[in-house]
Structure 1
Amino acid sequence: MVGDNVLWASAMALMNDFRELRTGKKIFKQLRKTHVDDVEEQIRGDFDAMIRTASKIDPYRTFVACASEQPDRLTMWRNYAGEVGYAVALDSTKPLYMRRQRPMTEEKIAASGLLDEESKQRLRDDANSGSPKFEWTRVVYKPDAQYLAAWKVLLDIEAAAAASAEGRQAKKGELYAMLDMATVISAIKDPAFEDETETRLVCNAAMYVDLMYLKHRPGKYGMIPYVELGLPKDPGQLVGDGPEPMGNLPIIEVIIGPTRYPKDACAGVRELLRSHGHTNIPVTASRIPFRP
């Protein structure tokens, strides 16, 4: 994060919750089953088609960067910290961009397997439009809140299908309603993980993610597909031979986990931040009286 100026967003298929995505999809399936008979028959086909489309989330091409809203928590230090842990607080009001690792070339487009010129041109246009950006979303754990969030989206999908059938403008169009559904599915997590108080960046990958953004690293589940997120120095600039240059992440605070040497640990982090252009950032030690 400091120095490389990026976060890693890893493939959802390899998260520690092996039911990632399945929990949210199950809720939508249950709600659809109880509500579908109330949907007008002439729009029922479109209603179901939109739900099926929004549910087709590829867990190997959906990437997640996870954070906690309660950084100084013993559960988190025990589960995720090493000998000395560091909780880095970011300004969550600032979206982050997917880092482009390499340029789009005609050779890559030809190797993509696309045959029609329209699809090839879309790749060119998307590559030239700059890096996609993503915002933080709170994870929903409580079942009542999960069903309420899913129900609101389901009603938007029904309204969009009805508006399309009647030839009028919907308050929320089909595409946006389906995107909302995909976002809610990705934000629902098993209640057993509630102690993590997670907020996350969910990156639904574009069709060209392999060509420009994707990286791999070894992990306990094998090779982990991931993308890097940050603040490009010039999001609209064309990419050269290497990864695009990144500016500093919006770091606003650092908390150091339980350690026998808190003063020394804080001093070292302050020096690291200063050497990379991060000034006047609060650095404090954990208040938890845990002896590591």
Structure 2
Amino acid sequence: MANIVIMADEEIDAPRLVWHYTSTEGLLGIVQRHVLWATSAAFMNDAEELKAGATAFRAYFEERKPDLSAKVVSEITKSGHLSPGSVFDTYLLSASRLRDSLTMWRNYGGSGVAFAVGIDRTAKLAILEQRRGESHPSPPPDYDPPDWIELENGRRVNAAYDPDTIFSFGAEWQRVVYIAEGTPKKIRKALDRLVSRIESREEGQITIWLGGSSFHHFKNAGFRDEREVRLLFDINPSWKFVLHRPSRFGPVPYVEITSPEASSDESREHWAKKASVLPIHEIVVGPTLFAEDAKRSLRMLLDHTGYGHVKVSSSKTPYR
């Protein structure tokens, strides 16, 4: 039997609290319904969302390719690291490492008050189920049902991919790396690490690369002021979890993120059947001429919605 070596990506450090900036309307949804929104990465403001890292890695790989063995070139080509993957089916929840960022206040304040919601990055979060059931309630024409094979003992096994199989990958905060000119150090190290692992692999071992999304935490340097950290989710089936909201792109798919139920077993630790109080520790009221009034009304809201323990504070940025 072949040995299997499982390769995971390096953990990227982030502060204990990450700061999700939102408008007043967004804040009401968060604390009244206990949910955060993760939107399909295909509909973000960054036109290269989830693509910048794979593009940089592919360019560096092509530069290094003449010096690499045929075995290494073949393995990396098949590993999925050269492709950005499915941007449309990856759902992104963004936050910042900065508690009081002028850039973020400008982005989310508009004509009203913005808020920075301090979330404990070490606490688990899960995708909220929207529709019950184990099969698509109204499958489209191209929605393939599973194929079954009858065995001699009378049992049936699924011989093809079942589109209704439930899974959710993600739920780990990652710190964004910003790409300016040249090849980032982390990209160079990533290729060196892959080359080393492939060359040192023993005969008969099979290597499973975890996370074709290895470079989904890279971004164009034009966004560096955001100091972003992010949660990425890949889910199935979409009919069970995905909602849609209006935007300048038309109907945009998104999923709701909540705290997993206390009774959840390991097989369902990344998705939940009901929303629970989120791991919020502090909320900062953005720059406003009515800071004390905003703090008082926020305090009342939190006390009424199960967040009485959450600290309320004000931005120190003198922006008006």
> Normalised by the shorter chain, which TM-score bucket?
0.7 to 0.9
Q: 1:93 to 1:107 in 2, by over 3 A?
A: closer
**Number of equivalenced pairs:** 274
Task: Please give the alpha-carbon distance, in whole angstroms, between the structure 1 residues aligned to 2:301 and 2:62.
Answer: 55
CA distance 1:145–1:62, change in 2 (3 Å): farther
8 Å CA contact retained: 1:134, 1:202 = yes
Secondary structure (helix, strand or coil) at the match of 2:54 reads helix
* 103-112 or 191-200, larger mean C-alpha shift: 103-112
Partner of 1:88: 117
TM-score (norm 1): 0.83
Q: Which amino acid aligns with 1:190?
A: N
Match of 1:167 among 204, 212, 217: 204
Assess, with a 3 A threshold, how the Cα gap between structure 1 residues 164 and 139 changes in structure 2: closer, same or farther: same
The one-letter amino acid paired with 2:287 is P
Shift of 1:81: 1.8
1:268 positional shift? 0.8
Number of the residue aligned with 1:25:
54
- TM-superposed deviation, 1:273: 0.8
Q: 2:222 aligns with which of 172, 192, 200?
A: 192
Query: Which position in structure 2 is the counterpart of 1:12?
Result: 41
- Equivalent runs, 1:112-127 vs 2, <5 Å: 112-116=143-147, 117-119=158-160, 123-124=164-165, 126=166
Of 145-154 and 190-199, deviating more is 145-154
* Contact 1:140-1:146 within 8 A present in 2 as well: no
What does residue 69 of structure 1 align with?
A: 97
- Aligned residue identity for 1:153: A
Q: Give the secondary structure class of the aligned counterpart of 2:53.
A: helix
* Structure 1 residue 165, shift from structure 2 partner: 7.1
Q: Look up the equivalent residue of 1:224 and give its one-letter code.
A: V
Alignment partners' CA distance in 1, 2:107 and 2:220: 17
Q: 1:151 aligns with which of 177, 181, 188?
A: 188
Secondary structure, aligned partner of 1:75: helix
- The alignment status of 1:286 with 2:320, answered yes or no, reads no
Which residue of 228, 238, 246 corresponds with 1:210?
238
**Deviation at 1:211?**
2.7
SS of residue in 1 equivalent to 2:37: strand
Deviations 1:87-145 (A, max 9, x none): 11101112311112123424559763144324456844x46xxx655011111115489
Q: Which runs of 5+ in 1 are unaligned?
A: none
The CA distance in 1 between the partners of 2:279 and 2:65, in whole Å, is 45
AA aligned opposite 1:182: S
Report the structure, 1 or 2, having the larger strand content: 2
Match of 2:4 in 1: none
1:200 CA displacement? 0.8
Percent identity of equivalent pairs: 29
Query: How many Å separate the matches in 2 of 1:279 and 1:158?
Result: 51
Q: Pick from 214, 223, 234: which aligns with 2:251?
A: 223
1:183 counterpart = 2:211: no
SS at match of 2:65: helix
Instruction: Give the number of the structure whose residues are more often helix, by fraction.
Output: 1
* Cα root mean square deviation, aligned: 2.8
| Contact 2:93–2:230 (Cα < 8 Å) also in 1 | yes
Identify the residue that residue 232 of structure 1 maps to in structure 2.
260
Alpha-carbon spacing, 1:212–1:118, altered in 2? closer, same or farther (3 Å): farther
Q: What is aligned with 1:201? A: 231
What amino acid sits opposite 1:196 in the alignment?
E
Q: How many Å separate the matches in 1 of 2:64 and 2:144?
A: 40
Whether contact under 8 Å (1:6, 1:229) holds in the other structure is yes
